Amino acid sequence: QVQLVESGGGLVQAGGSLRLSCAASGRTFSTYTMAWFRQAPGKERDFVATIHWNTVSTYYADSVKGRFTISRDNAKNTVYLQMNTLKPEDTAVYYCAAAGQGSNWPPTNYYAMAYWGKGTLVTVSS
């Protein structure tokens, strides 16, 4: 069982930056591939970024590539999402997720996730 708690959301102007954090409980965090998803009002939950349990491999949605960076600190049981050059269309609730064991790489599908946080709201004003 893994419990995930996101933090770091807020209101930022277009062009600004935010760093989201996701703190995980449990001793097996280092064995999970982690991901960020986001859900804008009235829209489906979409994949944003993922990082392999090996801490090296990463994969991004085209919409955030070059602007967002996912990283993890297994010693702190935490995964991060550094978001730069934010745009109004990045406004959404951002969710941290842990992929199910044995998921194919990269796990970009909602149904590949075994655990979810409750989300943190990011609002980008124009």
Q: What pLDDT, in 10s, does the model give residues 46-75? A: 999 999 998 899 999 999 999 999 999 999
Residue 59 CA, distance from chain mean position: 11
Q: What is the pLDDT of residue 47?
A: 98
Q: What is the pLDDT of residue 6?
A: 98
Give the whole-angstrom CA distance, residue 14 versus residue 85: 7
pLDDT tens column, 84-111: 999 999 999 999 999 998 899 999 999 9
pLDDT at position 107, please?
A: 96
